[in-house]
Amino acid sequence: MRKSLVFLLLSGLPLLASAAIYKWMDADGTVHFSDTPKDGAEEVHVAPPQTYSAPEVAPITPRPVEPQAPAAYERFELLAPTDDATLRENSGAITLSFAVEPPLKTRAGHRLVVLLDGKAVSEGKSATLTLENVDRGSHSLQGEIVDSRGTVLTRSPSITVHLLRHSILSPPSSAAP
């Protein structure tokens, strides 16, 4: 034990001896700094480093878990069209049919909102809605049930549909006689 104490004291001496910093200028005017003295060097006194002691942090106590209100709707999903469906509708109409259990609580001010590519485009109080004049291409469809304040109560899973519409650039092929 005594030998290890002496070893620790002796190993710390070089750290104490190298605490001084020296500064000198060479013939070219370049300033040099070193921890070993040199002829003509002056000792630079460096202020002790700034330190910070953090205040003690109070222990974190978890908040009591509030019981969640029962879900207003047990099932809400888009039944038609199906995911990845290709729809051929020249007018751009898409009819959506949702499964809502229990039925939509319209007396409580609940309504169904349809999102087309993430934007609300239609709303109603029925589980069946029709979107009009949707542009051709691939689109994501999703439903939300919102309360009278506009708070989203539940969302259906998002699906993708592909809408094909005739164009003057690519007219439908005519039937063979």
pLDDT in tens, 85-138: 888 888 888 999 998 888 888 888 889 999 998 888 888 888 898 999 888 888
DSSP code per residue over 7-70:
HHHHHHHHHHHTT-EEEEE-TTS-EEEESS--TT-EEEPPPPPP---PPPPPPP-PPPPPPPPP
Domain boundaries, given as residue ranges, for the chain = 19-45, 75-164
Quick one: fold of 75-164? Immunoglobulin-like (2.60.40)
The reply to whether omega before 177 is within 30° of 0 (cis) is no
**DSSP 8-state secondary structure symbol assigned to residue 105:** -
**Coil, strand or helix at 87:** strand
| Verdict on whether the full-model pTM lies above 0.75 | no
